[in-house]
Amino acid sequence: MSVSLPEPLRLFALLAGAMAFVGLNAAYLVWAERKAAGRFQRRPGPTEAGPAGLLQPVADVLKLISKQLMVPPGADAVLFRAAPVLVLVPAMICLAVIPFGERWVAREMPLGLLVLFAFGSIQVMAVMLGGWASRNKYAIISAARIVSQDVAYEIPMLLVMITLLMVTGTMDLGEIVRQQAGGFWRWHLFRLDANPLMPLTFVIYYICMLAETNRAPFDMAEAESELVAGAYTEYSGMGFGVFFMAEYANIVVGCATATVLFLGGWQSPIGVGSGPVWFLAKLYGLVFSVIWVRWTFPRTQFYGLLNLSWKILIPASLFILVLSGAALQLSGS
């Protein structure tokens, strides 16, 4: 027996669920990253707050809540306060259209892929606004880097999305997952019949995702050795905390998108027993790889970051797009 909720109550439930999911991910992915970083560097990581440091995120949240959000003199107070919210809200909207299972989606939309790409671009601009509104020289330099990085990596990301759209013929995320049913050899990552360079397409997407979420080795917006805390330099308390929540929420959105587009979504790798558990296993496997990359590779130089996109990723993704179109034309699809 299914219960139909009134639309306002349903929207409130979706909002509360999204906030809880984002908050729990932010809290315990920070814990997981600190533990992983400790293992990579041969140290224990958080141990004091609770068993194995499991209460450390709670202690961090209480500390941030107890601090006041100060607006620095000369800053644009409206934009300064709005920027953290503008960073977090797009990630929550993106989570609403991602299908975690056959019926595990908050809002199924025929243009779900377009929604992900459109709102995924807003968070970068919101970080830029926060840096510019701070009127701090380090934050403004960081904002300028964010714009350059965003322009450079949005292009190959868009070309990858168009390639997947040509292969699947739909922007419906649920339908994209259904097309990959039947085992891991049906996943788009291994669909060499549609495009023999599909694994390279996944690599380009993965690199662009790291750059779009400002993760090492592409975290030039928050280069501590150069720019203090980058665009977040003047933020304190929960203003700073919301930026961190948004960073991990966007990592989850980026990895969830990769799971849907390349790894079969909720489909089982052996063709039976599909469900949300498989989706979450793939999702957090990719999240762990993002953490692994951060604590393994050194930060790149800014011009190297831009050259990687303009000289390598954009030509490669454009070549893959043309190759996919030719393959589809020859196959008569």
> What's the 3-state SS for 77-116?
HHHHHHHHHHHHHHHHHHHHHCCCCCCCCCCCCCCHHHHH
Mean pLDDT of 120-129: 80
pLDDT value at 333 more than 70: no
Most confident among 30-34, 46-50, 192-196, 254-258 (mean pLDDT): 254-258
Is 130 contained in some domain? Answer: yes
d(CA 236, CA 217): 25
In DSSP notation, 3-46 reads -PPPHHHHHHHHHHHHHHHHHHHHHHHHHHHHHHHHHHTTS---
Is 28 contained in some domain? Answer: no
Is 86 contained in some domain? Answer: yes
pTM: 0.90
pLDDT value at 126 more than 60: yes
pLDDT, one tens digit per residue, over 166-207 is 889 999 999 999 999 988 989 999 887 767 888 999 999 999
Is 249 contained in some domain? Answer: yes
pLDDT, one tens digit per residue, over 261-307 is 999 999 999 877 788 999 999 999 999 999 999 888 888 777 888 89
Is 162 contained in some domain? Answer: yes
Is 78 contained in some domain? Answer: yes
pLDDT value at 2 more than 50: no
Is 102 contained in some domain? Answer: yes
What average pLDDT does the structure give for the chain? Answer: 85
Task: Give pLDDT, residue 3.
Answer: 46
Mean pLDDT of 26-50: 87
Nearest alpha carbon to residue 331 among 185, 181, 195: 195
Q: CB-side exposure of 77: number of CA atoms within 13 Å?
A: 4
Question: Which of 211-215, 228-232, 314-318 shows the lowest mean pLDDT across its residues?
Answer: 228-232
Please check whether residue 130 is in contact with residue 81, taking contact to mean a CB–CB distance below 8 angstroms.
no
Is 2 contained in some domain? Answer: no
Mean pLDDT of 1-22: 66
Nearest alpha carbon to residue 85 among 169, 19, 161: 19
Please check whether residue 161 is in contact with residue 113, taking contact to mean a CB–CB distance below 8 angstroms.
yes
Count how many domains the chain has: 1
In DSSP notation, 255-316 reads HHHHHHHHS-TT--TTSSS-SHHHHHHHHHHHHHHHHHHHTTSPPPPHHHHHHIIIIIIHHH
Q: Which domain holds residue 262?
A: 70-331
